[in-house]
Structure 1
């Protein structure tokens, strides 16, 4: 891999992280308003998204590593890699649960009611679930828009 490719990947990753945190902050602000009915500052929401995302990434990396080692051992023992697809689904579901719980933890720790008290873990969990659903809906909409914008050009380029 040459230096230009590495630089492009790093710049793209940083831009993606910044855009993701900014959009995630808006969605978290909306989720808190819908569920907890309290105002939260945009910078605070972005900080919660950033911290929760970093901690969730680390935990998901560890879980993926452990499951990957288990899959490699199972594949070596059985002489095949048939269990890999199932483990990827399980790993994805575990990652989703970890992400929601970690975000709920940081929502509960970092977002306060106007009187200064915590909103409670149950309500923070509902905020995290609504935030995740809003983010997934946004991703689906973005995917459909991109497919409609780029799909026909790709098909035309392929001669279909």
Structure 2
């Protein structure tokens, strides 16, 4: 299932561009304006529910932090569990970590080792709001796979095509991007 042009416009028009944030030269895609637009959020969630209801998913994993919003809302609609993939040091209990490269240094994401209730082959959808270079998404994808889950697909609301991050993630799992910009 693909968004029609009217649905794409409703969603895209609800996302605000913020110039020079978090640093000069960056155009930040602010999804808070999508979240407070009930029509756009409903169009988005209806589309995601329609797309994924036949995937027989067991869990949705959301990447810290905006992936939590869409992932948890979709998990609720599908009647399945939600699992957070957090920045290092934010989860209690036993976790596994994956390091990834940033423009100037490294960062890490982590997941509980038993995030999918030790279910071998659990069918998981990984979600985030945006993919740029793909570092965080690749690390999160590896974590899902490292828990012995079956990563069915990685879903992004926005794909910044010129940064080619999707290609890196596709080496691990199929990718679906609602809007390619």
Fold similarity call, TM over 0.5: no
Greater CA radius of gyration, 1 or 2? Answer: 1
Q: TM-score, normalised by structure 1?
A: 0.30
Q: Which one has the bigger strand percentage? A: 2
